[in-house]
Amino acid sequence: MSEANVNKKRKNRWAFPLGLIITVFAVIGLVCVILAGVNATKKAVIKSKNIDEYNTMLTPVVMNDPDPFDDITKANKNQLIDISVWSILKSNLSPDKYEYGEDGMIIPEEDVTAEFHKLFGTDTEPEHATVNGYGYTFTYDSAKHTY
């Protein structure tokens, strides 16, 4: 071997280990970028599901625009009942879930109470009564406990 080749080998003896380290770091970086992309996609899907759930829950509330209140116990109960009935009507009901009468669908009081508690919690109880809205009425039948 000539002296030039020996000097060249000494000069480049760190080239392979350094190249290997850089390649390992590049692979680690690529894996991190891919995992970050997958996690961001998962979070976006979860957020879109939450948005759909919030839209379903809030549509009847926004639709009725209740009076402002600081405490649920001080809220207008008629408005809360109105929102609860609309929430039932806006949910994906099967056509045969409830009976129909002369005036329309008959919704049991228990279902309205359950929807009331689902939307507003159990800190207050609903006061079942006929609710008049803008161009509609949910008539409460106290004898049959239905709307």
pLDDT in tens, 1-34: 566 565 666 667 888 889 999 999 999 999 999 9
Specify the DSSP class assigned to residue 67. P
pLDDT digits (tens, 9 = 90+) for 47-96: 777 787 787 778 888 888 788 888 888 888 899 999 999 999 888 788 78
Using a cut of 0.75, tell me whether the model's pTM lies above it. Answer: no
69-92 in b/e form (b: 16+ CB < 10 A) is eeeeeebebbbbbbbbbbbbeeee
107, amino acid identity: I
